[in-house]
Chain A
C-alpha cells in the first residue's frame, strides 16, 4: 500500500483523513485508488491535481511510477504565468 498525503482542505472529502492508503504502482493508480476509497474526491481530482513523489512534482503524468516506500503528496494542479 502507498500512503497518500492529502492537503488538509480535502479532509471533508476524505472522511476526515489526511493520509489515505491506496494500492498503486503509478500516479494514475494513486488517483483512481483515492476516488475508489473516497468518491467525494472525484470532483477535485477532475478539476486537476498534481502529485509529488519523493519530492518530484508530477504535474500531470499518470504513468509515473510509485512504490510502497514512496513519499506521495497530493497537490493542487500547477500552472504558471
Chain B
C-alpha cells in the first residue's frame, strides 16, 4: 500500500512524515514523530486522552487522519510549556494534585488550555461541560476542576 507524504506544523515546528492512509493523526504523532504525550485511551473519540488542537481547534487526534494534517497547524501537550517554565495550568495541576495516574492529564491540559483561550473566566459548570469528553477515572474530577479554575484566576490576574 503506497504511503502519503504530509507536510505539517507541530508545536510551531515544520514536520514531514509518510503515513498509511488509514493511520490517524494520533498514530502518526506517537509512532512516526515520537510525540507520545497524546494517549490512546479508546480510539473512538470517547475519552479525550488524545486531545490536540488542529488550527487552534480542539479535536481528538484519533478522529483525524494523518493525511488530513497536510498544511495544518497542530499543537500537542509537548508544546504547552513555554521553555523551561511550566504553563500555569501545568503548575496548578501539580499543586492541586489534579492527577493521580496521569494518563488523562495531557489531554485534559490541552483541552483546558483551549477553554481558557476562548473563555478566560469560566464557571465551574462551564469547565465541567467543556471537559466532559476527557475521562478521568482516578480523581473524581474535583481537583481537576479546582486546578483549572485556579489557573484561570491566576492567568486573569497576570493578563
A–B contact (CB under 8 angstroms): no
Show the binding face of B for A, using Cβ within 8 Å: none
